[in-house]
Amino acid sequence: MAAPTETDNADLPDPTELAKTYAEVAQRASHLISDHVQRQIKRGITPPQDELGIAQAFMDMMAKLLSNPYRLAQAQMNLVWDYFSLWQQSMLRFAGMNAAPIATPDKSDKRFKDEQWQEHF
């Protein structure tokens, strides 16, 4: 699915503002988590161990996502755009109207060859 064009973006939020909002939320969340952990340590409660590295992996992922908040905001807007396009095309087909396919499987992909896919999806 193609990304929205400039005229299609009229109702979408400004990616720069959205990126700033993401960055602010991440910063506030970081402060809240840090304050919570510090209060727990003062009370003698030790933070849980991250033996599997899940928390570190999550933090690394978030750092990478937020390293370019504009790109994150643009990806989020494209996801929403594609999601609504999928719903729109689905509703057109449900109403018995012709609708262009949102995605077409690779010719070598045999999973979608059955006639049922063409009739119902």
In angstroms, the CA 35 to CA 6 distance is 42
Mean pLDDT of the chain: 83
Asked, for residue 105, whether it belongs to a domain, the answer is: no
Q: Is residue 65 part of a domain?
A: yes
Q: Does position 22 have pLDDT exceeding 90, yes or no?
A: no
For residue 74, the enclosing domain spans 17-44+54-94
| Eight-class DSSP state of 48 | P
What pLDDT band is residue 7 in, cutting at 50, 70 and 90?
low
Rg of the chain (C-alpha set): 22
- Residue 69, judged by CB atoms within 10 A of its CB (0-12, 13-18, 19+), counts as buried
Over pLDDT 70: what percentage of the chain?
Answer: 90
Has residue 112 been placed in a domain? no
- Mean pLDDT within 40-61: 87
Is residue 29 one of the residues assigned to a domain? yes
Residue-wise pLDDT for 73-115, tens only, equals 889 899 999 999 989 988 988 888 888 888 888 888 888 788 8
Name the domain count of the chain: 1
Residue 58 falls inside a structural domain: yes
